[in-house]
Structure 1
């Protein structure tokens, strides 16, 4: 059940999953750059790859074009919404709600130990959890525990690299304990 992203022609950037995932990272939606090149978190300035490396999910810093290697490290990646945009706030509420329903199926099929949502505001909207905060959630997705993490987009200036390393590392430690 593994797959690479989309074609460089800008088609849908699909989930990358495999058996035995420790964590499934769920981005909000692909950037225009990611859709263009067919790889997750490909926009320059996105801090996903440094964050997962610093948190111990990968033994080395991967490049976006190596996203297909993620399942070999027990990591998967997908998005709530499939429509590429310049910024996530361009998505409509309906897109996030529809993506949440599709995500339930993806998670139920891939059965990761932990679902890591990358973006608090999108999680609140998509799942109707208006009081959610960063960290472990009371609710599940597809029957799996959920941990909300800060969005690694370079447009999110609220967090520094050390914050990402620490917060993503907390999620890794939790997943490793499951």
Structure 2
């Protein structure tokens, strides 16, 4: 089987976004096609619509259009790809992510898995609660969402996504 060359997903960031979604790394499918949350089994695009974050259901190929809505995207690993447990620890760049947040100053950060949040906070995933996190001076509001990945079906709930929609609408 030939090796697949994985291309990282480009950041979709600019100053003063109302929301930035942050994953651990691109899935293998997302890296192959160059679109965030591109695997057909991923609930991301359905969740942001059903929760009321977007007025319609966007397709993964339309991810860049969300900048017009004040919504951006990035990952903690810009060079890794695959499921969270497949991402090499050395590709996780928390310092680089914090520098992006300092530069662009979004109003809200939403980690799209407890794993991504645990890497950011330096704590075990089991110590991370879903929903809004305690306020940390110098950082935007932070919410942790259940992973929309089909592989995380057993832990899926739309409620934290709805909490996010209500928060950014306020």
Q: Same fold (TM over 0.5)?
A: yes
The question of whether the paired residues in 2 share the 8 Å contact of 1:17 and 1:76 is answered with yes
The question of whether the paired residues in 2 share the 8 Å contact of 1:13 and 1:35 is answered with yes
Asked whether 1:134 is paired with 2:134, we answer no
Q: Deviations over 1:10-46 (max 9, x none)?
A: 4321211234422100011101111111111111111
TM-score when normalising by structure 2: 0.86
For 1:86-97, what aligned pairs fall within 5 Å after superposition?
Answer: 86-96=82-92
2:103 paired residue number: 109
The question of whether the paired residues in 1 share the 8 Å contact of 2:25 and 2:82 is answered with no
The question of whether the paired residues in 1 share the 8 Å contact of 2:80 and 2:88 is answered with no
Q: Deviations over 1:112-164 (max 9, x none)?
A: 1110011113321332133221111125496212111111111111244xx22
1:69 paired residue number: 65
- Structure 2, unmatched stretches of 5+, are none
1:43 paired residue number: 39
- Structure 1, unmatched stretches of 5+, are 1-8
Q: How far, CA to CA, are the matches of 2:54 and 2:130 in structure 1?
A: 22
The question of whether the paired residues in 1 share the 8 Å contact of 2:20 and 2:110 is answered with yes
Asked whether 1:55 is paired with 2:48, we answer no
Asked whether 1:172 is paired with 2:165, we answer yes
TM-score when normalising by structure 1: 0.82
Q: How far, CA to CA, are the matches of 2:27 and 2:71 in structure 1?
A: 20
